Structure 1
Amino acid sequence: MDIVLRNVKRKDFPVLKSLAKSLGFEIIEKTEKPYNPEFVKEILQAEQSIKDGKGIKIKMEDLWK
């Protein structure tokens, strides 16, 4: 059986970890990786270019041509 704890406060983690260890549980720590910074930069630049009027508008009926 797997148990996943999310949003554990940093101050509470050692207590939970020691409790799990004393009960003989296997502890696997995973941290979620943030988005790739280059990807975020590209998205922000694209949004800014649309705001600046540099985007291209395509009619819905022309989308599949």
Structure 2
Amino acid sequence: MDIILKNVKKEDFPVFQSLAKSLGFEIVEENEKPYNPEFVKEILEAREELKQGKGTKMTLEEIDKLWK
């Protein structure tokens, strides 16, 4: 059985580690990886372009035709 603890404060983590160790549990830390910096840059640039009016407006029908 797996138990996942989220949003554990740094000062509380040693308590969980100690308890798990005393009970013979295995602790696996998985830190969320941040987004790829290039991807974030592209998104921010696209948002800025939209603010400057460089976007293209499409109706739902036009969007629907794109994927068919």
TM-score by length of 2: 0.85
Matched pairs, number: 65
Counterpart of 1:22 in structure 2 is 22
Aligned residue number for residue 34 of structure 1: 34
Identity of aligned residues (%): 65
> What are the residue-to-residue correspondences of 1:1-65 with 2, within 5 Å?
1-63=1-63, 64=65
Distance 1:40 1:46 in 2: 10
TM-score, with structure 1 as normaliser: 0.88
Instruction: Measure, in 2, the Cα distance between the counterparts of 1:62 and 1:5.
Output: 45
Structure 1 unmatched runs, 5+: none
Across the aligned residues of Structure 1 and Structure 2, the Cα RMSD in angstroms comes to: 1.3
2: distance between equivalents of 1:26 and 1:48? 46
Runs of 4+ with >3 A deviation: none
Rounded Cα–Cα distance in structure 1 between residues aligned with 2:62 and 2:32: 40
Q: Which runs of 5+ in 2 are unaligned?
A: none
Normalized per residue, which structure has more helix?
2
